[in-house]
Amino acid sequence: MSSAPSPRTRIRRIPENADYAPSTLYAILDSHYLCHLAFHDERGPHCLPMAYWRIDDALYIHGSNGSRLMKHLAGGAPVSIAVSHLDGLVLARSAFNHSMNYRSAVIYGQFERIEGEEAKAAALDAFMDHLAPGRNAEIRRGSPQELGATIVLKISLAEAACKIRSGGAEDDEKDLHIAAWTGVLPLTMTRGEPQADADCTQPLPAYAQDWSVK
């Protein structure tokens, strides 16, 4: 998809870095766990970090049914959600040509509530699969009481846009004579070795073995 799905998702600043393809959006979302969710209520604007996961063409979050935030979002409040990966610092010959390499996504819309204990349980199973594929077979699933105390919300990914920058410095021709080092200082989120709790006697499962080699 080469065009923005809505006027507010059209990227105007450096539009050549825009990407509106669902496959790009899904790749950015699926490789992360934390989003920043912005909304407005009677107390003013807010931007909060939230755990999330994706099922098909929707993004999901969960929280306590006693949460003022979750009740507000379940009521149809308009929101904006951002997910970003910082891949490197780009150093140029001019201070104003320094940049960053990144992959980012912004989503607009309204959440809807997942109704029914079976549907909520299935959505939360998918969350566990996002965190550690295969772990659902080992652990106790949520009890009726726990599910009843939890709100699960989803938002369509239909109104979203991605912006990506990669590569080195883009110096102006007039600055090419400046004797300064130019290039990229890469940044990566690394996976460490699994750390078992002191009272854990179980062998390392496959998803934990694979954790640090991905």
Position 212 scores a pLDDT of 79
Class of domain 7-213: mainly beta
Phi and psi torsions of 18, nearest 5°: -75, 150
pLDDT tens for 24-66 read 999 999 999 999 999 999 999 999 999 999 999 999 999 999 9
**Could you state, in order of their start, the residue ranges of all structural domains in the chain?**
7-213
How far is residue 62's CA from residue 120's CA, in Å, rounded to a whole number?
10
Mean pLDDT of 128-145: 93
Q: What percent of the chain has pLDDT over 70?
A: 99
> Could you tell me if 186 and 88 are in contact, meaning their C-beta atoms sit under 8 angstroms apart?
yes
Q: What percent of the chain has pLDDT over 90?
A: 93
What is the model's pTM? 0.92
Q: Is the pLDDT of residue 2 over 90?
A: no
Tokens for 146?
Answer: 């726990």
Segment 27-32 long-range contacts (CB within 8 Å, at least 24 positions apart): 28/83, 28/85, 28/103, 28/104, 28/105, 28/162, 29/54, 29/59, 29/83, 29/105, 29/157, 30/54, 30/130, 31/85, 32/83, 32/85
Instruction: With cut-offs at 50, 70 and 90, classify the pLDDT of residue 184.
Output: very high
Q: Is the pLDDT of residue 214 over 90?
A: no
> Could you tell me if 165 and 68 are in contact, meaning their C-beta atoms sit under 8 angstroms apart?
no
Position 213 scores a pLDDT of 75
Position 211 scores a pLDDT of 87
Q: Is the pLDDT of residue 210 over 90?
A: no
The per-residue pLDDT of the chain, averaged, comes to 95
Q: Strand, helix or coil at 3? A: coil
DSSP state of 97: G
Q: Which of 57, 53, 59 is nearest to 80 (CA)?
A: 59
